[in-house]
Structure 1
Amino acid sequence: MTAHRVKGLTWELTEAGVVGVTISWADNNGIPRSRTVPVAALPQVAETGVGVTTLFAVFDSSDVITFAHEGLATPSGDVRLLPVLDGIVRLAGQPALAWAPGKIVTADGDPWPYDQRGVLARQVESLAAEGLTALVGYELEFAVYRDDPDHPDELVPALSGPAYSPHALVPIDGFVKDVLHDFAANGLELGQLHAEYGPAQVELSLAASDPLTAADRQLLARQTLRAAASRHGLRLSFAPLPALTAAGNGWHVHTSLWREGRNLLAGAAGSPGPEGAAYIAGLLRDLPAVAAVTAPSIGSLARLRPGYFAGAFAFWGVENREAPLRFVPGSALLGADHANVELKTSDASANPYLALAVLLAAGAAGVAEGLALPPAVQSDPGTWTADERGAQDIYGLPATPAEQEAALTGNPRIARVLGDDLLGAFLAVRRSDAAAAEGRPVDEILAGLRWRY
């Protein structure tokens, strides 16, 4: 954006009553971080950014700074946070503020290897070099509780069912109204919103867009939801599992891969096309390493239970909601280009930029290598014996932090997407989380993560 356009944007925001601009990014735990600057400073900030510590790359999920990663082993160092002005939005629910996604560069303005948004931007460029583009849509599940300052640890559901019923949403009617209004005003196109299966649980879907926009909008959706909830005395948990007695919250990712305007997943008779099948095969091959990024937290591991539609075993299926890779075919009603594949092993503790980068890299590698896709599984392997699963080469996804790390470090394709520096920081954060969880009751760990995302 030119300097003249930035000045014009600043004037427009000022005239609209905006006094500050919040620049947001997500850390290696999926937790949004931000800086807010006066709106009058926007032209300067757009050029030189805001100073932030390098150590945000090694914050763990509890805000403990780990110095275990050699590249960021001291408190010294500063980088610059730049607003991505093409994504700036005046917040309908916080009208004195505008919001923009952020990218981080070195003090000299060069690419910073720990900048997660830059990782996804490079992966999008890599797809383009192969003549490919992608569309990405999110489904966000979250729990809605009454906010009681006198009893902050008591979970009082703001809705209680029946599941998927319009009756369930009546107690939070004002919140729902504000969400529908604010999403539209903030440029977030909603597919639908409903009461989900679990007590207190709501789900909404965001329309598909290019990968960078999808990741930006996922962060903007969180900001929009929290502001609406606050106005109605509600508190939202985006955590993968708010408590052992709660329903798990998946932030499912729907992707489709395109070449020259053609959806490669749109095949005949409800099957993916040849290159679409190779895309799914690439995802399936790298799923353990991908899941270590898309569902990386202790809470993620607690959520990934067989029989909970969370995707605990590595397989794919056509419209099989127990499959971590659920192929959604096109139809005569929706059109062939509706075809996409849903990753269910994904949640709010994933950095959205890294999650999409490794997912797209895995799928694109499958296309480049022409991988063969095994037969779809249309039942729940969690009900099979271990021998039955073994006969079809179906295995459990990583179930411990150590297994996650082994899957990630043992997969050069996925490790290469992150790069040595960022991978080192990411693993240091995961180890810090694991060490903090050692010997603690699971419900205590989940309570500590409940409001983090």
Structure 2
Amino acid sequence: MRTVTEELRERGRELAAALAADGVAGLIVAWVDNNGIPRSRTVPVSTLPQVAVAGVGVTTLFAVFDTNDAITFAAPGLGTASGDVRLVPQLDRITRLAGQPAFAWAPGKQVTADGGPWAFDQRSVLERVVAALDADGYSALVGYEMEFGVYEQAQVPEDTALLAAHSGPAYSPHALLPIDDFVAAVMRDAEANGLRLGQVHAEYGPAQVELSLAATDPLTAADQQLLARQTILAAAEAHGLRVSFAPLPTLAGAGNGWHVHTSLWRGDENLLAGGPEGPRGTAGAGYVAGLLRDLPAVAAVTAPSIGSLARLRPGFFAGAFGFWGVENREAPLRYVPGSALLGEDHANLELKVSDASANPYLALAALLSAGVAGVEENLVPPPPVAQDPGTWKKKERAAAGIAKLPGTQAEQEEALVGNPRVTAALGEETLGAFLAVRRADAAWAAERDTEEVLAAWRWKY
């Protein structure tokens, strides 16, 4: 019987031969740091037999890179420049990139030098949470709506002006005509890359487009969100365009939310099934209540950047206040009921306080942990809100128990550190590194106005 190492090496040989026969030169092994920024190593496909077993070396300090690529040594366990881990491609997720035919892509997992678990690996955090859900008899489906701005390339590198590649009207087919070839390439390449799209359309803001990914299991959803970025950026580059996934590319423009739709299942039963009043069963209600209870801490992970905080403005469908509603697009937690047309299993809960600056693995780990805790504790949510509390007086919001979500890094940190469920899901080491880079970003931003910060991070994600 072959050992695991021998099986991995043989699988690497098979993949290397198949990729080389298709004209693929390199494999991009990607992961996401604590700022939501994709990082990668690219290896020749001929090395796959070795890389499949031992990975490729990367510094431990990627866990404490801030958004400006500066390194903070303020996280426990990552206080020096010494140390290395191995980045191992997930072989079952290798995808030949339709928009970059000389390359294939795979998500990577960071392990210790002896192949053991590394405490700061974000993908492993979500793996643990999914395993815990499975042990308790639950599963989840996750789908993303990804908003982004599409702009003309600058004529000279020094030109920082944003020239919209389309100018609307919002949601109109006319809006996409100027970028027709780009949109067609995204759709073709996404399908070739194994991404199931729900729809693509012009969004509300000038230059804005939205793409939705079909729901799948949490790990696949996080991986595919990362693959979708690569797919979109490659199509934009091929068509002379620039894409910004930033939560808020500029104060004058629309924000880009990456809304997360989740449903919780027990066997074949969608626990969120229900109608216009909300989830029918106590478990679905508990899921809503759990997320609502922990929303300030969850948002600190799902919308963690200075750009995220600038985006959370009342009246912008961003979810600035802590409440839930049925089909209420101003609610940070928007319940989407099933229907006779779509079926009861269509029911899901949308988190609007989510964007590209979140690490998707940590974001889903926080979200699912909070929701399932509400189910296990039989929590009951308050009545859903159909209005926009941003138009209410403060005393009206206070009477309804509705508070504004944290608006500064310090407020987010306080909410996160004080939440035992979300901190337990992340783990002590990951939490320490995450907070270290949040503080580094906040310190850098404190010396600059918001527009300068947004401009500096516009193309990072």
Which of the five TM-score ranges fits, normalised by the shorter chain? Answer: over 0.9
Check the 8 A contact 2:8/2:53 in 1, yes or no: no
Residue 43 in structure 1 maps to residue 49 in structure 2: yes
Aligned 1:16-415 pairs, distance under 5 A: 16-150=22-156, 151-267=158-274, 271-272=278-279, 273-415=281-423
Check the 8 A contact 2:9/2:50 in 1, yes or no: no
Between 1:5-14 and 1:403-412, the stretch displaced more is 5-14
Question: Could you give the per-residue CA deviations for residues 280-321 of structure 1, whole angstroms, max 9, x where no partner exists?
Answer: 100000000000000000000000000000000000000000
Cα distance, 1:5 vs. partner?
A: 2.8
Check the 8 A contact 1:239/1:299 in 2, yes or no: yes
- Residue aligned with 1:11, SS: helix
Inter-partner Cα distance in structure 1 for 2:261 and 2:419: 23
Check the 8 A contact 1:134/1:257 in 2, yes or no: yes
The one-letter code matched in structure 1 to 2:195 is L
The one-letter code matched in structure 1 to 2:168 is G
Could you tell me which runs of 5 or more consecutive residues in structure 1 were left unpaired when the two chains were aligned: none
- Residue aligned with 1:71, SS: coil
The one-letter code matched in structure 2 to 1:129 is A
Inter-partner Cα distance in structure 2 for 1:268 and 1:345: 23
The one-letter code matched in structure 2 to 1:112 is W
- Residue aligned with 2:139, SS: strand
Residue 422 in structure 1 maps to residue 430 in structure 2: yes
Flag the 1:269–1:452 CA change in 2: closer, same or farther, 3 A: closer
Inter-partner Cα distance in structure 2 for 1:256 and 1:169: 31
Inter-partner Cα distance in structure 2 for 1:79 and 1:149: 41
Inter-partner Cα distance in structure 2 for 1:439 and 1:108: 43
Cα distance, 1:439 vs. partner?
A: 3.0
Cα distance, 1:420 vs. partner?
A: 1.0
Cα distance, 1:267 vs. partner?
A: 2.5
Residue 444 in structure 1 maps to residue 452 in structure 2: yes
Instruction: Provide TM-score, normalisation by structure 2.
Output: 0.97
- Paired residues, number: 453
Check the 8 A contact 1:144/1:157 in 2, yes or no: yes
Inter-partner Cα distance in structure 2 for 1:303 and 1:320: 18
Between 1:337-346 and 1:258-267, the stretch displaced more is 258-267
Cα distance, 1:367 vs. partner?
A: 0.5
Instruction: Provide TM-score, normalisation by structure 1.
Output: 0.99
Inter-partner Cα distance in structure 1 for 2:184 and 2:428: 45
Partner of 2:14: 8
Cα distance, 1:260 vs. partner?
A: 1.2
Between 1:147-156 and 1:225-234, the stretch displaced more is 147-156
Task: Please list every run of at least 4 consecutive aligned residues from structure 1 whose deviation after the TM superposition is greater than 6 angstroms.
Answer: none
Q: Output the aligned Cα RMSD.
A: 0.9
Inter-partner Cα distance in structure 2 for 1:10 and 1:369: 49
The one-letter code matched in structure 1 to 2:250 is A
Inter-partner Cα distance in structure 2 for 1:70 and 1:395: 33
The one-letter code matched in structure 1 to 2:337 is P
Inter-partner Cα distance in structure 2 for 1:78 and 1:356: 27
- Residue aligned with 1:51, SS: strand
Check the 8 A contact 1:92/1:186 in 2, yes or no: yes
The one-letter code matched in structure 1 to 2:249 is P
